[in-house]
Structure 1
Amino acid sequence: MEGLRWRTILAALGVAASIVWVLPNVVNFGEKSWWPSKQKLNYGLDIQGGLHLVMGVDVDGVVKESTTRLIGSMKAEMQKENVAVADVKSEKPEQGEVQFVVAKAEDRAGVEKFLSEKYSTVLQVISSTDTTVTARYFDAYLNDYKNRVIQQAIETIRNRIDEFGVAEPSITQQGANRILIQLPGMADAERAKQLINTTAKLDFMIVSDEVQPQALQAMIADAEKAGNYTMASMKYTDYVAKVNEDLKGKIPEKTTVYFEKSANATTMEAGAIPYLLKTDTNLGGDALDDAFVGYDQYGAPQVSLRFNSAGAAKFADITGNNVNRQMAIVLDKIVKSAPSIRDRIAGGEAVITLGSARDRNSGMDEAKMISTALRAGALPASLEQLEERRVGPTLGADAIDKAKMGSYVGALIIVLFMIVYYRSMGAVASVALGLNVLGIFALLTSFGATLTLPGIAGIALTVGFAVDANVLINERIREELRLGHGIRVAVKEGYHRAMSAIIDSNVTVAATAVVLLYFGTGPVRGFAVTLLIGIVTSMFANVFVSKVIVDTLVYKFNLKKLSV
């Protein structure tokens, strides 16, 4: 009897804890309420509605940028080690291809030796002539690099969305260069979408004085006229790419053209100021330690930047070597400001000014958006929105109502069958079944899991196989009663003999659920999670609690007969 008392206490505590966790889902407790649990169950995109986005990742652009940086560093290394080479260039930088040009055929061996000693794990020689050696990234290295770019982009997007607290966003890789983003909840999702589309790729670039501003504007106007396009007729990023492609050969190497919006213009198209910028500065957002909203001397919002130790040293060197020149602060290929460098800046701090031709609220919103994006991490590649679908909450409500109805009907049929077929023990099994479902929702809530339609299907399936344990137990009790044993012996032996079969069946289901959880994505994982939770609650409710109920009836209330 002492053991029964402790088991009863444990069962009561488990049921009470389940009620504590579940109740906030049906009763709206305030923040200052005495109720110990305030957490509610999260609902997936297919239930509460939200946004479904597919973003394209410019992986080739990152490879191109990486190849350009590699060429710069190899030039410096080869010069330092006295490797005879006339030029290092790339005609296909987006494919990671590098071409070495030598003046004499005998110099080719020195280049090949340099590559084998310094870059044997990165570059492979694919062809050579008397005066050229062409190398390219190893396929394995390139594939791994592209995959890391995608994973870094996913992690950065997740960090940004977490800033706004969107409950359980789903962010997964789709194919070689796409990211699938599902954001439950319409209001938060809209704000998060705006933040996602702010790629926040920050660069600090020296303004080149090799072409005068008037001449640069004339060259851009000629390119627009020849190509029959304008900034107003294209996306900004496409326009910038087109202009730089058309000006190739007319502007110096290692330079690019970006634009700044005039302070008095409402849009970029209405007042774009072109800048010719050097591309070999190699100082970007990855060198930042922090970004936050600050204020200038007139109280206007601005974004204050603080570099890490390596970035601060590099920033100091760049400003020291370019005194009396302009340094452009470029965000997503848009020049935010281009202040003149008066002296070497050794403090490791800078600011992004947002201009004064705007109301304070919009300026503050933009400053917050930029600082949040930079603080959460600059995306390694630019994103392009390829698809957007909105799942309305009405559709989600209709789907969950039908899923609920299916679960209710299934549970009712099971309860009726158990009571009709097993009578008293069937009633005990039905009570345990209710506690089982209560436990599932309690654990889902406490874990902060997201309930989706596949998850509801998993719960419905759990309701189906949860009574399997009670069926085994009841059949064993029947066998013991047929052998002439009393009710106490029959109950004890029935639970004991059925336990091995119950454990075997639950272990096999758990193994299947673990495989689904490990290899599956999205809905499959949701289904697997509810299955695993259902196994735990089934063992507690349908085995442990049901035995406590039966033992209480038999031992405490001295029941002599129990219909099975």
Structure 2
Amino acid sequence: MEGLRWRTFVAVLGVAASLVWVLPNLVNLSEVSWWPSKQKLNYGLDIQGGLHLVMGVDVDGVVKESTTRLISTIKAEMTKDNVAYADVKSEKPESGEVQVVVADAAGKAAVEKFISDKYSTVLQVVSSTDTSVTARYFDAYLNDYKNRVIQQSIETIRNRIDEFGVAEPSISQQGANRILIQLPGMADAEKAKQLINTTAKLDFMIVSHEKTPQELQVMIAEVEKAGNFNMENTKYSDYVTRVNEALAGKLPEKTVVYFEKAPNATTIDAGAIPYLLKTDTDLGGGALDDAFVGYDQYGSPQVSLQFNSAGAQKFADLTGNNVGKQMAIVLDKIVKSAPSVRDRIAGGSAVITLGGGRDRNGMMEEAKMISTSLRAGALPASLEQLEERRVGPTLGADAIGKAKLGSYVGAAIIIIFMIAYYKSMGVVASVALGLNILGIFALLTTFGATLTLPGIAGIALTVGFAVDANVLINERIREELRMGHGIKVAVAEGYNRAMSAIIDANVTTAATAVVLLYFGTGPVRGFAVTLLIGIVTSMFANVFVSKVIVDTLVNKFNLKKLSV
């Protein structure tokens, strides 16, 4: 009896805890301060609607940028090691190819030895002539690098989405260079979309004065006329690319043209100031430690930056080597400000000013967006939105309504069958089944999981194998009663003998669910989560609680006969 008392206490405690966690989904308890839980169940995109985005990742652009940095590094290291060379360049930077120009055969041998010694795990020599050596990234290295770019982009997007509290976003790789983003709930979808599309690629670049702004404007006007395009009818990123491609050969080496929004312009299309910037500074958002909104001496919002230790040293060297020059702070190829470097800036701090000509609220919103984007991490690659679908909640409501109807009908059929076939024990099984479903929703709410339509399918499957456990128990009790045993012995033996078969069935189902959870994505994982939770609640409700109910009836209330 002592054991029964403790088992009854655990059963009542479990049921009470389930009610506590489930009730906020049914009743508004936000104003009830003493209620221990306010958390509600999250619904997936297929139930409550939301935003479906497919983003293209500019992986080739990252490889091209990496190749450019590699060329600078190789030059510096060969100069340091006294390896003679005429030039280092790349005709196919997007494929990671580097060409070292040499004067003679001896120079070629020295370059090949240098690459073999210094870059044996990164570069392979693919061809050579009397005057050049061509090397390229190993395929395995390049594929791994591209994959890391995608995964870093996914993690960065996830961090940004988390900044706005979108519940249970689904962010996964799709193909070689795409990312699928699903954001349940429309409340934060627009902000999240804006944040995702803001790639927040930060660069610090020295302004070159080899061409004046007036000369640049004339050159840009000429290529716009020749190419029949302008900033108003072309997306900004495409416009910048087309301008720089058209000006290739006319601009100094290792320079690029980016634009700053004019102080009194509302958009960059309405007024843009061109800047000729050097591309070899190699200081970007990866060197940042923190970014936050601050205020200048006039109380206007600005973005304050704090570099990490390595970035602080690079920033100090960059400013120290360019005293008297302008240093542009570039965000997503847009020049945010270009202050003059008056002295070497140590300490690892910098500021992005937003310019005037706007209302304070507009400047504050932009400062918050920039700081949030940078704090969440700079994307390693630019993103392009390839697809957008809005899933309306009406479709989800209709689907979940049908799923509810199917669940109610299925549960009613099961309950009617169990009571008709097993009589009193069928009633116990039906009560346990209700507690099982209550437990599933309680655990889903507790874990902050997201309920999707495949998850509802998992709950339906859980109901099936939960009843199966009671069928095994009831049939074993029937066998014991046929053998002439009393009700107490029949119940005890029935549960004990059925337990091994129940455990075997649940272990194999759990193993399958774990595999689905590990290898699956999106809806498959939702199905696996509800399946695993259902196994736990089934063992608790349909085995443990049902035995407590039967033992209480037989042992405490001395029930002499129990129809099975």
Q: Same fold (TM over 0.5)?
A: yes
Rounded Cα–Cα distance in structure 2 between residues aligned with 1:198 and 1:165: 17
Residues 43-88 of structure 1: per-residue CA shift (max 9 Å, x gap) = 1111111100111111100000000000001000001111111110
Rounded Cα–Cα distance in structure 2 between residues aligned with 1:55 and 1:506: 40
Q: Show the counterpart of 2:176.
A: 176
Q: Show the counterpart of 1:393.
A: 393
Aligned-partner SS, 1:103: coil
Rounded Cα–Cα distance in structure 1 between residues aligned with 2:10 and 2:267: 67
Aligned-partner SS, 1:183: strand
Aligned-partner SS, 2:188: helix
Rounded Cα–Cα distance in structure 2 between residues aligned with 1:283 and 1:134: 27
Amino acid across the alignment from 2:40: K
1:121-520 to 2 correspondences below 5 Å: 121-520=121-520
Rounded Cα–Cα distance in structure 2 between residues aligned with 1:424 and 1:221: 89
Rounded Cα–Cα distance in structure 2 between residues aligned with 1:90 and 1:522: 41
Residues 441-474 of structure 1: per-residue CA shift (max 9 Å, x gap) = 0111111110000000110111111110110011
**How many Å apart are 1:213 and its aligned residue?**
2.0
Residues 12-62 of structure 1: per-residue CA shift (max 9 Å, x gap) = 111111111111111111255201111111111111111001111111000
Rounded Cα–Cα distance in structure 2 between residues aligned with 1:265 and 1:502: 72
Q: Show the counterpart of 2:2.
A: 2
Rounded Cα–Cα distance in structure 2 between residues aligned with 1:30 and 1:231: 50
Rounded Cα–Cα distance in structure 2 between residues aligned with 1:90 and 1:32: 67
4+ residue runs over 3 A deviation = none
Rounded Cα–Cα distance in structure 2 between residues aligned with 1:479 and 1:199: 69
Amino acid across the alignment from 2:304: S
Q: Show the counterpart of 2:63.
A: 63
Aligned-partner SS, 2:187: helix
Q: Show the counterpart of 1:97.
A: 97
Q: Once structures 1 and 2 are overlaid, which stretch shifts more, 299-308 or 435-444?
A: 299-308
Rounded Cα–Cα distance in structure 2 between residues aligned with 1:285 and 1:240: 20
Q: Show the counterpart of 1:25.
A: 25
Residues 389-436 of structure 1: per-residue CA shift (max 9 Å, x gap) = 001111111111111111111111000000000000000000000000
Q: Once structures 1 and 2 are overlaid, which stretch shifts more, 301-310 or 531-540?
A: 301-310
Q: Show the counterpart of 1:521.
A: 521
**How many Å apart are 1:203 and its aligned residue?**
0.4
Q: Once structures 1 and 2 are overlaid, which stretch shifts more, 122-131 or 24-33?
A: 24-33
Q: Show the counterpart of 1:86.
A: 86
Amino acid across the alignment from 2:47: I
**How many Å apart are 1:115 and its aligned residue?**
0.3
**How many Å apart are 1:552 and its aligned residue?**
0.6
**How many Å apart are 1:212 and its aligned residue?**
2.2
Aligned-partner SS, 1:304: strand
Structure 1: runs of 5 or more not aligned: none
**How many Å apart are 1:315 and its aligned residue?**
1.1
Rounded Cα–Cα distance in structure 2 between residues aligned with 1:215 and 1:496: 91
Aligned-partner SS, 2:269: coil
Amino acid across the alignment from 1:23: L
Q: Show the counterpart of 1:547.
A: 547
Rounded Cα–Cα distance in structure 2 between residues aligned with 1:442 and 1:556: 30
Aligned-partner SS, 2:299: coil
Q: Show the counterpart of 2:37.
A: 37
Amino acid across the alignment from 1:168: E
Amino acid across the alignment from 1:140: A
Amino acid across the alignment from 2:526: G
Rounded Cα–Cα distance in structure 1 between residues aligned with 2:283 and 2:201: 11
Q: Is the 8 A contact 1:316 1:348 kept in 2?
A: yes
Amino acid across the alignment from 1:65: E
Q: Once structures 1 and 2 are overlaid, which stretch shifts more, 98-107 or 450-459?
A: 98-107
**How many Å apart are 1:267 and its aligned residue?**
2.1
- Tell me whether 1:52 sits opposite 2:52 in the alignment: yes
**How many Å apart are 1:225 and its aligned residue?**
1.6
Amino acid across the alignment from 1:348: G
Rounded Cα–Cα distance in structure 1 between residues aligned with 2:106 and 2:347: 49
Rounded Cα–Cα distance in structure 1 between residues aligned with 2:109 and 2:57: 39
Rounded Cα–Cα distance in structure 2 between residues aligned with 1:486 and 1:370: 76
Residues 485-544 of structure 1: per-residue CA shift (max 9 Å, x gap) = 111111111111111111111111111111111111100000001011000100011111
Check 1:403–1:282 CA distance in 2 against 1; reply closer, same or farther (3 A cut): same
Q: Show the counterpart of 2:16.
A: 16
Rounded Cα–Cα distance in structure 2 between residues aligned with 1:489 and 1:311: 75
Residues 287-337 of structure 1: per-residue CA shift (max 9 Å, x gap) = 111111111122111111111122111111111111111100100000011
Aligned-partner SS, 1:283: coil
Amino acid across the alignment from 2:112: E
Amino acid across the alignment from 2:241: A
Rounded Cα–Cα distance in structure 1 between residues aligned with 2:61 and 2:437: 51
Q: Once structures 1 and 2 are overlaid, which stretch shifts more, 98-107 or 418-427?
A: 98-107
Residues 212-238 of structure 1: per-residue CA shift (max 9 Å, x gap) = 222222111111122121111211101
Q: Once structures 1 and 2 are overlaid, which stretch shifts more, 92-101 or 315-324?
A: 315-324
Rounded Cα–Cα distance in structure 2 between residues aligned with 1:193 and 1:179: 13
Q: Once structures 1 and 2 are overlaid, which stretch shifts more, 215-224 or 112-121?
A: 215-224
Aligned-partner SS, 1:38: coil
Residues 222-274 of structure 1: per-residue CA shift (max 9 Å, x gap) = 11122121111211101111111111111111110100111112221221111
Q: Number of residue pairs matched?
A: 564
Rounded Cα–Cα distance in structure 2 between residues aligned with 1:345 and 1:554: 83
Rounded Cα–Cα distance in structure 1 between residues aligned with 2:415 and 2:32: 39
Structure 2: runs of 5 or more not aligned: none
Rounded Cα–Cα distance in structure 2 between residues aligned with 1:15 and 1:295: 54
Residues 167-201 of structure 1: per-residue CA shift (max 9 Å, x gap) = 11111111111111111110111111111111111
Aligned-partner SS, 1:232: coil
| TM-score normalised according to structure 2 size | 0.99
**How many Å apart are 1:106 and its aligned residue?**
2.3
Amino acid across the alignment from 1:323: V
Rounded Cα–Cα distance in structure 1 between residues aligned with 2:230 and 2:284: 29
Rounded Cα–Cα distance in structure 2 between residues aligned with 1:32 and 1:507: 41
Aligned-partner SS, 2:172: strand
Rounded Cα–Cα distance in structure 2 between residues aligned with 1:154 and 1:174: 11
**How many Å apart are 1:103 and its aligned residue?**
1.2
Q: Is the 8 A contact 1:31 1:38 kept in 2?
A: no
Percent identical residues = 85
Aligned-partner SS, 1:294: strand
Amino acid across the alignment from 1:235: K
Rounded Cα–Cα distance in structure 2 between residues aligned with 1:133 and 1:318: 32
